[in-house]
Structure 1
Amino acid sequence: MPSETDTTAPIRRYAFYVAVAVTIALVGVSLGQFLPNAISGWTGSLGDRSIFGLVLMAGSWTALFGMAVQFYRPTERVNAILLLPVVTVLSGVIGFATGTIFAVETLLIAAITLVPLVLHPAGRSVLRFDRVGSPNRLLVGLYAIGAIFMIVYSGQEFVKQFTLTGEDVLRGHYSDLAIWAFSIAVWGGLAVFRRRDWRFAAWMSGFVALYLGVSSAAFPDATSSLGLAGGVSVAAWAVAFVAMTERVRGR
């Protein structure tokens, strides 16, 4: 007779796929009117919030992609499955603490994104940190430069959320930008030090950092912009980090 594990495993896997599909659909509908901002922001139609619109929605597209790739070999996509739940949970909690208008909605989305994580075929190993034995020193050094910068920038945006007033505070733009900047550092670290799913982590970190850098260079006077020099530097780091990670870890 088949064991209980043998009979329940297929059901759990199908439930996982359904949960992933539902999550993508609900999050996509919730963010539907904002997702085009990742492109429309380049026209300047977002005005002073071009940095927020570009980076937040570029990050959202990346998080949705991380959920979508779970349909193919999900046990290997351990970093990809974590992105959307982590970001939405942090955004919801901080939004609730600061009284943003999207706090309750974000918390509900966060609860939805946790379902695929609970049902994930990799089980609890999704959270297990399987460390790389001997990380490349040059890659570690390059990562450290970007990570320190992003953590400092994230801290500055986080402080703005609690100390400033206005529409950007009400909508949680500063805290969301802080979360994505911090995510660049976190997933960059996963790309360098975690054995599994390093490629998604590297490209996610590089892609969002590139968007932050290029948008800052394009809109140097916008709120939360890194300026021309800072934007170019971050964009250059993003390209170099992804390239070096692919060279070192793709061997």
Structure 2
Amino acid sequence: MLMALIPMAGLLLSAVLSGDVDAVVRFNPLRYAAWVIVVAALLHPAGRAFFRSFSVSRVNWVMLALVGIAAGPLLVFASSNISLQRTVTDSHSGMGHYGFMAAFSYTVIAVGLLASLRPVGWRLTGWVAGLIPSLLGVTSVLYPDATSSLALGWALAAVAWGVVFIAAAAPSKDAKSPIPIGSPDVVSKPERQVEARLSD
């Protein structure tokens, strides 16, 4: 549910920070899917149970630590791309490429954080958080001269981080009796059944 909205939020954030909303949003294919994404999030089958599925007992601390480790380099990557979107006047800038790469960084951090909290349906989120940086790393190795390509060391680190993140998510088990954050009540049995059905 939230995972579908995160890339749009990252794109808007990078567009605002770069001061080039028109180029960053206009040339991005996500803009065509924006309303579909919003409707899908609103019609998520978990409904309100999704927000009640957040609990301290569900947090995967290894995944959360991995997100913390990656956040620094990702924010530096985002900052350099926002600077390029503001100052460079090449065809990549005109098509919002640098802003999109900054949004990519914000998306990895936010989706990784969401996966670490393990709400209802979190498994796909964990895979997405690991696959996105891995794909950037592989693409950077295959096309080292491409704009926004990572240096070899950072490309290999991105691939390794993605693999480790997915591996950390794989053995995770759902909490048997989660206690929602900010509430003394245990999630009801019907909600756990919806949660179990959606997380498989």
Question: TM-score by structure 1 length?
Answer: 0.58
Contact map agreement 2:137 2:158 (CA 8 A) in 1: yes
The offset of 1:90, in angstroms, is 4.7
Contact map agreement 1:217 1:229 (CA 8 A) in 2: no
Does residue 87 (structure 1) correspond to residue 29 (structure 2)? The answer is: no
Which structure has more relative contact order (CA 8 Å, sep 6+)? It is: 2
| Greater displacement, 204-213 / 140-149 | 140-149
The offset of 1:133, in angstroms, is 2.1
4+ runs deviating over 4 angstroms = 104-108, 124-129
Contact map agreement 1:100 1:169 (CA 8 A) in 2: yes
Rounded to whole Å, the distance in 2 between the matches of 1:103 and 1:129 is: 36
Which structure 2 residues correspond to residues 1-251 of structure 1 after superposition, within 5 A? 78-79=1-2, 82-83=3-4, 85-88=5-8, 90-91=10-11, 94=15, 98=20, 99-100=22-23, 103=26, 107=31, 109-126=33-50, 130-133=54-57, 135-249=59-173
Residue identity matched to 1:217: V
Question: TM-score by structure 2 length?
Answer: 0.70
Q: Secondary structure at the match of 1:222?
A: coil
CA RMSD, aligned part only? 3.0
Rounded to whole Å, the distance in 2 between the matches of 1:152 and 1:129 is: 32
Q: Secondary structure at the match of 2:23?
A: coil
Q: Secondary structure at the match of 1:177?
A: helix
Q: How big is each residue's C-alpha offset from its partner over 1:153-206, in whole Å with a ceiling of 9 and x where there is no partner?
A: 122212221222111111111111111221111111111123322211110011
The offset of 1:214, in angstroms, is 1.0
Question: Greater helix percent: which structure?
Answer: 1
Residue identity matched to 1:247: P
Q: 1:150 to 1:249 in 2, by over 3 A?
A: farther
Q: Any gaps of 5 or more consecutive residues in structure 1?
A: 1-77
Q: Tell me the number of residue pairs that the alignment of Structure 1 and Structure 2 aligns.
A: 171
| Greater displacement, 198-207 / 144-153 | 144-153
Q: Secondary structure at the match of 2:149?
A: coil
Rounded to whole Å, the distance in 1 between the matches of 2:58 and 2:33 is: 38
Indicate the percent of aligned positions where both proteins have the same amino acid. 27
The offset of 1:224, in angstroms, is 0.9
